[in-house]
């Protein structure tokens, strides 16, 4: 690490878990901590061992984990009023965590000292001094979080300064300026940080910003620009209320916009994975619009934009998405022009040739179908089949003669469903029946049973997800349903769509597309092997 590097201090496992819906088990925390360590994060704040048994358990588990880069940090408060640090149970819990670093927060805003803590200003300073000195004497690196620093500074700048100087003279290794309520504006923050730098060396300063005004990332970067060396934040900005500063955005901006090193080059390309990894463990769907790493961050929909991006990606992309492990996407929608289709076809491995009339036909067909409620943004399986059909290359694998679905229910017994189907393949007819736990399942079973005779590898595939959405009907018309099916054969996953006023018909369309996609994919695979 270079002395000019910005130090990244992750508090996903502590401040991040203050967020509504965020819950990690001790084991999950260990996994996240290991991932952050592999990526070269400098500090990982693992929890508040004095506040709950889960965090204490995390630190027990973490004792067995060899961290390569990161300094594991335990978080807590200064000693309680009228209590020597040596006798304070909070401080004892910090030491029991056996981490190389500890972070303690102290009150900086006189409003909190009088109204919340109920001690005098001098006593607050004595608590800070005593706590820092005691932890230093125990050989710890001490990070002092000046809670509500910016609000304190606005009310009583002389006292806020005394708090920082007390912690520093007691031996604190880092002084972190906290915008705990997240209400500070970047221009005010910059002015205040400049003032602090006149009495505290900037390489000993950190910033801890909350996002209540949507400014946590901006404030953190402004502080770094003003000279601060350490940045606190969480992955995906998880945290209490509106969250903490999002380290994913901060790291992306530091590296790619401000030319400031923080993590190794290879870790920058891992940012998208990291963000999704933590979302998965938190069991919170990833935010599509998350800067740098979201699924939509480099996605183009409008035809004019797509046309431009095909000529030069810089036209509508602020960076090359691959720098952060993301990629460009183009949506096919009713806004789409011929450029989207050309891009999408290439992505799906379909050669549309140079003949513009095919391209035009596809655009017209999609627009017509979208008007009826189809939506190809995620139904790439159906889109692929549709393109091949219009291109005239598609050989229908079977012809439906008829199907019937029977649902029966007697008394309180569970319903039973049977489907029978008659298809023909190359003039040969096949009639089968099957049961299922519902009409779509029974129909799927019957169809695949009938087809297996002709296409044995069809048994490799199965439905992995089935979603139904009611589309608002126009006045006087029946509401339509849109069915989206995900299928898999263990190698690929593909989505197909059907739309109808009848749910069985909509499901049938999606089922047929799914099977046609699979058969056409296998046929191409066999051809490319031959
Ligand atoms: Zn915080």
pLDDT means per 10 residues in the chain (530 residues)? 86 96 92 96 96 92 95 96 93 96 94 82 95 98 98 96 98 98 98 98 98 98 98 98 98 97 96 89 86 92 77 88 90 68 82 80 87 82 92 89 94 94 94 94 94 91 84 68 87 87 95 94 82
Q: State whether the Cα torsion 123-128-129-135 is positive or negative.
A: positive
CA of 273 to the centre of ligand 1 (A): 25
CA of 243 to the centre of ligand 1 (A): 9
Question: What is the spatial distance between Cα 301 and Cα 84, in angstroms, rounded to a whole number?
Answer: 63
CA of 2 to the centre of ligand 1 (A): 27
Strands (E), 223-264: 230-233
CA of 239 to the centre of ligand 1 (A): 8
Predicted local distance difference test score (pLDDT) of residue 436: 93
Strands 480-488 and 493-500: antiparallel
CA of 456 to the centre of ligand 1 (A): 59
Predicted local distance difference test score (pLDDT) of residue 285: 75
**Would you say how long the chain is, in residues?**
530
Predicted local distance difference test score (pLDDT) of residue 475: 53
CA of 127 to the centre of ligand 1 (A): 20
CA of 274 to the centre of ligand 1 (A): 21
pTM: 0.74
CA of 18 to the centre of ligand 1 (A): 9
CA of 167 to the centre of ligand 1 (A): 19
CA of 359 to the centre of ligand 1 (A): 54
CA of 272 to the centre of ligand 1 (A): 24
CA of 3 to the centre of ligand 1 (A): 26
CA of 208 to the centre of ligand 1 (A): 7
Predicted local distance difference test score (pLDDT) of residue 491: 74
Q: What angle do CA 502, 504, 509 make, to 5 degrees?
A: 100
CA of 209 to the centre of ligand 1 (A): 7
Predicted local distance difference test score (pLDDT) of residue 392: 87
Neighbouring C-beta atoms of residue 529, cutoff 10 Å: 6
Longest pairwise C-alpha distance within the chain: 95
CA of 136 to the centre of ligand 1 (A): 23
CA of 245 to the centre of ligand 1 (A): 9
H or E segment at 405?
strand 399-408
DSSP state of 482: E
CA of 214 to the centre of ligand 1 (A): 15
Predicted local distance difference test score (pLDDT) of residue 336: 63
CA of 107 to the centre of ligand 1 (A): 13
Predicted local distance difference test score (pLDDT) of residue 364: 87
Question: What is the spatial distance between Cα 502 and Cα 477, in angstroms, rounded to a whole number?
Answer: 13
CA of 502 to the centre of ligand 1 (A): 52
CA of 35 to the centre of ligand 1 (A): 22
CA of 207 to the centre of ligand 1 (A): 10
CA of 238 to the centre of ligand 1 (A): 11
145 within 8 A of 96, measured Cβ to Cβ: no
Predicted local distance difference test score (pLDDT) of residue 333: 65
Which of 7, 23, 116, 101 has its CA nearest to residue 62? Answer: 101
The per-residue pLDDT for range 137-179, each reduced to its tens digit, is 999 999 999 999 999 999 999 999 999 999 999 999 999 999 9
Question: What is the spatial distance between Cα 273 and Cα 36, in angstroms, rounded to a whole number?
Answer: 12
Q: At what angle do helices 216-226 and 247-256 cross, to 10 degrees?
A: 40
CA of 180 to the centre of ligand 1 (A): 6
Question: What is the spatial distance between Cα 494 and Cα 496, in angstroms, rounded to a whole number?
Answer: 7
CA of 76 to the centre of ligand 1 (A): 12
101 within 8 A of 73, measured Cβ to Cβ: yes
Instruction: Please classify residue 476 by burial: count the beta carbons closer than 10 Å to its beta carbon, then call 0-12 exposed, 13-18 middle and 19+ buried.
Output: exposed
DSSP state of 427: T
Instruction: Give the neighbor-by-neighbor strand order of the sheet with 428-436.
Output: 399-408, 416-425, 428-436
Strands 493-500 and 141-147: unpaired
CA of 188 to the centre of ligand 1 (A): 19
CA of 220 to the centre of ligand 1 (A): 13
CA of 14 to the centre of ligand 1 (A): 9
Neighbouring C-beta atoms of residue 134, cutoff 10 Å: 21
CA separation (Å) from 124 to 78, 80, 136, 439? 9, 10, 19, 70
Sequence-ordered alpha helix ranges (H) in 379-498: 380-391, 439-452
Predicted local distance difference test score (pLDDT) of residue 306: 77
**C-alpha dihedral, 186 to 191 to 197 to 202, nearest 10°:** 20
CA of 39 to the centre of ligand 1 (A): 23
CA of 460 to the centre of ligand 1 (A): 50
| End-to-end Cα distance, the chain | 53
Instruction: Please classify residue 364 by burial: count the beta carbons closer than 10 Å to its beta carbon, then call 0-12 exposed, 13-18 middle and 19+ buried.
Output: exposed
CA of 244 to the centre of ligand 1 (A): 7
CA of 182 to the centre of ligand 1 (A): 9
CA separation (Å) from 324 to 33, 215, 275, 314? 20, 22, 11, 15
Q: What angle do CA 294, 236, 19 make, to 5 degrees?
A: 135
DSSP state of 258: S
CA of 179 to the centre of ligand 1 (A): 8
Question: What is the spatial distance between Cα 231 and Cα 219, in angstroms, rounded to a whole number?
Answer: 10
Instruction: Please classify residue 115 by burial: count the beta carbons closer than 10 Å to its beta carbon, then call 0-12 exposed, 13-18 middle and 19+ buried.
Output: exposed
Predicted local distance difference test score (pLDDT) of residue 341: 81
CA of 15 to the centre of ligand 1 (A): 6
463 within 8 A of 487, measured Cβ to Cβ: yes
CA of 356 to the centre of ligand 1 (A): 57
CB atoms within 5 A of ion ligand 1 belong to 15
CA of 89 to the centre of ligand 1 (A): 22
Question: What is the spatial distance between Cα 90 and Cα 140, in angstroms, rounded to a whole number?
Answer: 15
Residue 81, token pair as written in the block: 């009023």
CA of 108 to the centre of ligand 1 (A): 14
Measured in degrees and rounded to the nearest 5, phi and psi for residue 117 equal -85, -30
CA of 183 to the centre of ligand 1 (A): 13
Question: What is the spatial distance between Cα 106 and Cα 97, in angstroms, rounded to a whole number?
Answer: 20
């Amino acid at each position: 690490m270079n002395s000019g590097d910005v130090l990244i201090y992750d508090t996903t496992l502590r401040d991040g878990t203050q967020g509504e819906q965020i819950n990690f088990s001790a084991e999950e925390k260990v996994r996240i901590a290991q991932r952050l360590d592999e990526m070269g994060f400098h500090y990982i704040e693992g929890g508040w061992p004095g506040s709950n048994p889960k965090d204490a358990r995390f630190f027990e588990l973490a004792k067995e984990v060899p961290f390569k880069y990161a300094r594991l940090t335990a978080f807590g408060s200064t000693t309680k009023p009228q209590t020597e640090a040596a006798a304070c149970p909070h401080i004892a819990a910090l030491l029991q965590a056996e981490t190389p670093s500890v972070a303690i927060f102290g009150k900086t805003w006189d409003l909190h000292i009088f109204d919340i803590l109920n001690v005098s200003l001098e006593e607050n300073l004595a608590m800070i001094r005593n706590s820092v000195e005691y932890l230093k004497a125990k050989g710890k690196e001490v990070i002092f979080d000046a809670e509500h620093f910016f609000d304190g500074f606005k009310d009583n700048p002389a006292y806020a300064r005394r708090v920082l100087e007390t912690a520093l003279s007691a031996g604190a290794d880092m002084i972190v300026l906290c915008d705990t309520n997240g209400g500070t504006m970047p221009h005010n923050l910059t002015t205040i940080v400049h003032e602090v730098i006149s009495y505290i060396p900037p390489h000993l300063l950190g910033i801890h910003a909350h996002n209540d005004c949507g400014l946590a990332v901006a404030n953190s970067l402004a502080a770094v620009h003003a000279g601060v060396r350490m940045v606190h934040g969480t992955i995906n900005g998880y945290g209490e209320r509106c969250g903490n500063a999002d380290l994913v955005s901060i790291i992306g901006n530091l590296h790619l916009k401000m030319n400031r090193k923080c993590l190794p080059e290879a870790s920058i390309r891992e940012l998208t994975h990291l963000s999704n990894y933590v979302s998965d463990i938190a069991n919170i769907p990833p935010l599509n619009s998350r800067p740098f790493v979201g699924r939509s961050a480099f996605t183009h929909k409008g035809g004019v934009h797509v046309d431009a991006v095909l000529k030069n990606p810089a036209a509508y992309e602020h960076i090359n998405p691959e720098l952060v492990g993301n990629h460009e996407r183009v949506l096919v929608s009713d806004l789409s022009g011929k450029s989207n289709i050309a891009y999408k076809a290439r992505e799906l491995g379909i050669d549309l040739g140079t003949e513009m009339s095919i391209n035009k036909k596809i655009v017209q067909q999609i627009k017509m179908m979208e008007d009826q409620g189809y939506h190809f943004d995620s139904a790439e399986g159906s889109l692929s089949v549709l393109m091949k059909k219009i291109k005239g290359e598609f050989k229908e694998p079977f012809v439906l003669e008829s199907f019937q679905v029977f649902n029966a229910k007697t008394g309180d017994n569970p319903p039973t469903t049977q489907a029978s189907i008659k298809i023909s393949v190359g003039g040969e007819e096949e009639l089968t029946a099957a049961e299922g736990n519902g009409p779509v399942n029974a129909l799927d079973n019957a169809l695949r049973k009938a087809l297996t005779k002709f296409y044995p590898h069809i048994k490799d595939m199965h439905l992995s997800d089935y979603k139904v959405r009611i589309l608002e009907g126009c006045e006087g018309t029946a509401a339509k349903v849109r069915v989206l099916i995900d299928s898999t054969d263990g190698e690929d996953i593909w989505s197909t769509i059907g739309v109808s006023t009848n749910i069985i018909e909509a499901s049938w369309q999606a089922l047929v597309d799914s099977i046609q996609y699979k058969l056409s994919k296998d046929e191409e695979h066999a051809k490319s092997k031959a």
